[in-house]
């Protein structure tokens, strides 16, 4: 593609109040700046706020799964209409793109998704993305829109990912934004407050989890707020929020990036030191090097690979299901994942 890809994610608490009312001034401000940035970038806007917008229409809303699904179905058209009104002022049409995990885990559907987005961009259409809450299976849901935005950024080979939050960035113990972060490790995680906003699903720990994945694949990540005249441009210039330094640009080919874009799953394979070393030498993963398979993944699913300390080493498309792996831990020469289906971070 001729332009770089930029993914922008807006959090619920940033664009709405606790009652779920969307701040039209925020939407206008975002639309004004994205309209300018679209001259230089292919942009994907991942927007939360659908559940918050729709919940007030449900009597005695308590936040159950079925109520959240219903609220999202009501709130999505309200949200997309607000974006439509503001972007139309700039001659830009918006498209509502409701995604499910299968769009990332199934390569055929993923390629179709990429082609559809390419068609959007060719026609100056901005895709506004959210999860398809109404039909998403509870066990296959994205954990939150931070995850969805990250998977889009990885799968679409984005140059930058901006996660907009009401916190304005990662804050130190004195409440000041930390402007530059070289590595997401224990020294960074110590600043995380575990609470999340009343409106949203995620929190800073969620953002840092997916930030770590994105920067490991060479994507620039900024966690920032929307204060100032052009906050998104300032974020791209490392002048707004917390900028996370990426590793050198990933040399993964397209299929490997697709594997990585499905990397946050309900399943994980925990491997020993010997297996971890073998994978670094581009060897396949054998069951004898596995300590445990976690979750209920089936053959062909993409799962995380973690070492003995619990550090995520990469992802793999499995040749065996979790139950079989756990039965065959002592069996030699049985391949759990082929080298060509393993991506290390």
Comparing C-alpha atoms, which of 241, 200, 205, 212 is closest to residue 11? 200
| pLDDT score at 285 | 96
Please check whether residue 47 is in contact with residue 12, taking contact to mean a CB–CB distance below 8 angstroms. Answer: no
What does the pLDDT read at residue 239?
A: 96
Give the residues across from 312 on adjacent strands: 306
Nearest to 45 by CA among 32, 29, 54, 34: 34
Residue with tokens 């640009």: 249
Q: Please state whether the predicted TM-score (pTM) of the whole model is above 0.95.
A: no
Q: For 314, left (φ over 0), alpha (ψ -120 to 50), or beta?
A: left
Instruction: Lowest mean pLDDT of 90-104, 124-138, 265-279, 310-324, name the range.
Output: 124-138
Tell me the average pLDDT across 13-19.
80
Residue 44: how many other CB atoms lie within 10 Å = 25
Tokens 């030498």, residue located: 281
CA distance 231 to 164: 10
């Amino acid at each position: 593609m001729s332009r770089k890809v930029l993914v922008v994610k807006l959090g619920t608490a940033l664009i709405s109040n606790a009652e779920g009312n969307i701040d039209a001034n925020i939407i206008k401000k975002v639309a004004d700046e994205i309209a300018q940035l679209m001259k230089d970038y292919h942009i994907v806007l991942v927007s939360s706020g659908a559940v918050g917008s729709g919940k007030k229409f449900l009597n005695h809303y308590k936040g159950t799964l079925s109520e959240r699904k219903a609220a999202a179905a009501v709130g999505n058209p309200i949200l997309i209409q607000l974006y439509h009104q503001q972007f139309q002022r700039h001659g830009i049409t918006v498209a509502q793109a409701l995604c499910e995990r299968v769009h990332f885990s199934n390569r055929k559907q993923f390629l179709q998704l990429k082609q559809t987005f390419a068609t959007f961009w060719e026609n100056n259409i901005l895709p506004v993305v959210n999860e398809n809450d109404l039909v998403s299976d509870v066990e296959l849901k994205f954990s939150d829109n931070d995850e969805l935005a990250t998977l889009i950024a990885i799968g679409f080979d984005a140059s930058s990912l901006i996660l907009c939050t009401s916190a304005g960035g990662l804050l130190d113990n004195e409440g000041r934004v930390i402007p530059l972060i070289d590595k997401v490790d224990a020294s960074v995680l110590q600043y995380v407050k575990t609470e999340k906003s009343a409106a949203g699903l995620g929190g800073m720990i969620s953002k840092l989890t997916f930030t770590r994945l994105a920067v490991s694949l060479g994507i620039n990540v900024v966690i920032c707020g929307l204060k100032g005249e052009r906050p998104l441009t300032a974020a791209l210039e490392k002048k707004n929020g917390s900028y996370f330094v990426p590793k050198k640009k990933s040399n993964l080919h397209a299929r490997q990036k697709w594997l990585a874009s499905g990397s946050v799953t309900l399943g994980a394979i925990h491997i020993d030191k010997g297996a971890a070393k073998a994978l670094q030498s581009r060897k396949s993963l054998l069951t004898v090097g596995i300590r445990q398979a976690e979750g209920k993944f089936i053959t062909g699913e993409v799962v995380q690979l973690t070492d003995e300390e619990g550090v995520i080493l990469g992802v793999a498309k499995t040749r065996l299901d979790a139950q079989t792996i756990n039965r065959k831990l002592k069996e030699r020469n049985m391949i759990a994942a082929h080298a060509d289906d393993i991506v290390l971070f």
